[in-house]
A and B are shown apart, each in its own frame.
Chain A
Amino acid sequence: MSSLAPVHPLVRDLRLLGVAFGYELRKVTAWRAGFVVRELMRSLWRPLVMIFVYRAILATPDARVGGFDFPTMVAYLILAASFEKLLFHQRGLDLADQIFQGYVTKYLTMPVRFFVLALGRFVQHVAVQASVVAILWIAGWALFPQWWPRPASASAALQAFGLVLLGSYCAFLVCFLVNVLAFWLEVVWTLSAMASFVFSFAAGVLVPVSAMPDGLAGTLRWLFPYWAVSAPGELFLGRLGTPDFVRGVLVLLAWIVALELLRQFLWRRGLRRHVGAGA
């Protein structure tokens, strides 16, 4: 037996999270030719297309879409694309495959909470994508200074970043939940694709939520995607203020609690069902 030092479970989980983060970081960066190029290019084509679409819609200087003129819309699209990159997505988690192939049961024989290892993947994703976004922004400021968004204030930028991080954690929990459905379903990727489409729309990646019809926008403001992309974008540009930030934090925390409870419930039920079937 290994020699064991008595450590509080939370401390142990945090230490394991640190190691899992490093492990995941090496996994995603090691021996992957074109990793940087791929990460830099991913998610860029959509805002580029939308910039041309809005160029056509906002052709005249006084034309507006939901209060956005063309330069503000370009700034918003850049922000939305940047924030979307920071959000956890389905490609980042291969849990469904692990469930299908029966690997996940191995962790039941280990003194570890599987979720901590998955959390390492989340931390890695945010760290890597934050680096990629930082590179993009440095290049953007250097190449397109007149178009690239500038924060209304340092506080607005921090508030926006805070909301994006909380929103990314919500997205991670949703990804985890969709993957956990593999305990019951055989094809999870279709659900992932559908969830991704709904998420893009609700987050205002293509059209700012505030530019949508009032009824729809009012509904989307209760959902976490809006507070993960659209609202941080408008906060950054100074179109929303601190009261909106506070409301966003409360909405996102409520979502995190609800998703976390659902995650724990589905994980336990799924695992019991999985091993009950002899997997």
Chain B
Amino acid sequence: MSEVLIEVRGAGKRFRTWKRREGVRGFFANLFAREWTEVTALEGIELEIRRGEFVGLIGANGAGKTTLLKCVSGITPVSSGSARMFGCDSFELRDEHKRRLSMVMGQRSQLWWDLPAIDSFRLLREIYSIPKSDFDARVAAAAERLAVGDKLERQLRNLSLGERMKMEIIGAFLHEPDVVFLDEPTIGLDLVSRETIRRYLVEINRARGVTIVLTSHDMEDIEETCRRLVILRQGRVLFDGGLVDLKARVYERRAIEVHLEASSPGWDPAWEPLLAPFDARLERAAPLTLLFSVSAPAVQRFVPFLFERFAIRDLSIEHHPLDMIIRQIFQGRESGA
């Protein structure tokens, strides 16, 4: 078994926030008698990540993904339990440990807007004490791989969003870290840029054994890069396992999308109990489109049931999309933890 690089035991994170009151009276009340409330961002997190793993961290907005990244990377201390990296308390990491990690926040560019990326890389070279020959070789290789070799000298503000993110990725891997945290690195990017970045991450993970922890709302990011998935809901780990395990569930169920004729009756909520014998659920109901999730063995019986009730124009049966499973987990209808 490879070395454990990240170890989180019973970690919780709580912080206090105060309610802002309006008006002149509220202003003075805010100054002298604030109404504090405690927010629990994480609770009882257990996690162990080994060298070379590629872990996808997903959850709805506010689930605690970014907070967990910050606790593990040492930006913020945990309120209870422990978060350790490289065998040390994450919040007490020394410089020699910090040289081994890197972080990219997709929504917060770290490169300077008015300068070419290469200038920001030179600053990173000094921060991480990278020898010049290594630096030049790494920048050239990464820029070529990400197809931005001719953009290094161009002012960052003149690059596209995808090119800027590629520069962020190059900067994050310049010092050859052992652990990289990527917080929504593909947010807002076009299909081609997303593909290029994913492929680069997978390659570097395999070639160098870099441990990568990725958060994303894009399930394609997760499916194409991660071998392991951690799902958070309301600050707790809901699922922690191989993507293969989760995909096995995909094959247990089918998604049936039904397109109705204009003359067809729509879905009647009173029919809900009729779905139980098929282990079926209505996932989405639009005026002329219905989406059902059905257990695979019941599909043969369920389709005639649909034809009995609706005038159907078109019908498709597909494997359950991964994001539907994830959505069900977020909504608490499945628990694989």
Contact = CB atoms under 8 A, between A and B. Distances in A.
B41 to A, nearest CB: 6
A126 to B, nearest CB: 19
Interface string A1-34: 1111101000010011001100100110011100
A111 interface: yes
Interface string A145-161: 00000000000000000
A119 to B, nearest CB: 13
Interface stretch (A136-144, A176-184, A271-279): A271-279
B98 A1 contact: no
Nearest to B99: A111
A278 B67 contact: yes
Nearest to B177: A1
Contacts of A26: 115, 119
Given A2-B176, A31-B155, A16 B112 contact: no
A105 interface: yes
A278 B114 contact: no
Contact of A4 (B67, B99, B110): B99
A7 B176 CA distance: 19
A221 B13 CA distance: 50
Interface stretch (B126-134, B213-221, B288-296): B126-134
A109 B171 CA distance: 14
A1 B74 contact: no
Contacts of B162: none
Interface residues of A, number: 32
Given A1-B178, A110-B98, A23 B119 contact: yes
A30 B155 CA distance: 9
A108 interface: yes
Contacts of A115: none
Contact of B123 (A23, A30, A106): A23
Contacts of B176: 1-2
B75 A5 contact: no
A106 B75 CA distance: 7
Given A30-B114, A108-B74, A278-B76, A16 B178 contact: no
A67 interface: no
A161 to B, nearest CB: 29
Interface string B86-125: 0000000001101111110100101010110001101101
A108 B85 CA distance: 14
Interface in A110-140: 110-112
A219 interface: no
Contacts of B17: 277
B280 to A, nearest CB: 41
Given A31-B155, A108-B74, A102 B108 contact: yes
A275 B76 contact: yes
B19 interface: no
B177 A108 contact: no
Nearest to A276: B15
Given A4-B99, A110-B127, 16 more contacts: A2-B99, A4-B129, A5-B129, A19-B122, A20-B126, A27-B112, A27-B114, A32-B114, A102-B108, A105-B70, A109-B74, A109-B103, A110-B98, A276-B77, A277-B16, A278-B39
Report, nearest first, the 8 A-B pairs whose CB atoms are least far apart. Answer: A111-B95, A275-B76, A19-B126, A111-B98, A2-B175, A2-B130, A278-B15, A105-B75
Interface of B: 13, 15-17, 39, 41, 67, 70, 73-77, 95-96, 98-103, 105, 108, 110, 112, 114-115, 119-120, 122-123, 125-131, 134, 155, 175-178
30 contacts: A1-B100, A1-B175, A2-B99, A2-B129, A4-B99, A4-B129, A12-B129, A15-B126, A19-B123, A20-B123, A23-B112, A23-B119, A23-B123, A26-B119, A32-B114, A105-B70, A105-B76, A106-B105, A106-B108, A110-B98, A111-B95, A111-B127, A112-B127, A275-B76, A276-B15, A277-B17, A278-B41, A278-B67, A278-B70, A278-B76
Interface of A: 1-5, 7, 12, 15-16, 19-20, 23, 26-27, 30-32, 101-103, 105-106, 108-112, 275-279
